[in-house]
Amino acid sequence: MNKLILATITAAVTSQTAGCIITTSGEDASITARWDLQNFNGQRTACPAGYQTAALNSQLLDRDGRPVGDPAIDLFDCQASYGVTAPLEAELYQVWLEIRSDEGSQLYAQSTSAIVNLYDADQTFDASILNDGGYFMLDWNLVGARTNQPLSCTDIVGGIDSISTISTAIASNVGAFDDQFHCEGHYGLTAGLLQGDYTISINAEQRGQSIGTAPAITERILDRNQVTDLGSITIPIEGL
Residue-range definition of the domain harbouring residue 140: 133-237
Q: Determine the length of the chain.
A: 240
Q: Are residues 118 and 170 in the same domain?
A: no
Q: Are residues 227 and 119 in the same domain?
A: no
13 and 118 both lie in a single domain: yes
Q: Do 109 and 141 belong to one domain?
A: no
The phi, psi pair for 182, rounded to 5°, reads -70, 130
Q: What is the DSSP letter of 183?
A: G
Residues 137 and 125 in one domain: no
Summarize pLDDT for 143-174 with one digit per residue, the tens. 999 999 999 999 999 999 999 999 999 987 78
Phi, psi of 4 (to 5 degrees): -60, -45
Q: Is residue 121 classed as helix, strand or coil in its secondary structure? A: coil
Whether residue 176 is found in the same domain as residue 232? yes
Instruction: Give me the pLDDT at residue 26, please.
Output: 60
Classify 102 in phi/psi space as left (phi over 0), alpha (psi -120 to 50) or beta: alpha
Q: Based on the domain organization, do 7 and 119 belong to the same domain?
A: yes
What local confidence, expressed as pLDDT, does residue 3 receive?
57
Per-residue pLDDT of the chain (240 residues; tens, 9 = 90+): 455 555 555 445 444 444 333 444 568 999 999 999 999 999 999 999 999 999 999 999 998 899 999 999 999 999 999 999 999 999 999 999 999 999 999 999 999 999 999 998 999 999 999 999 999 999 999 999 999 999 999 999 999 999 999 999 998 778 899 999 999 999 999 999 999 999 999 999 999 999 999 999 999 999 999 999 999 999 999 999
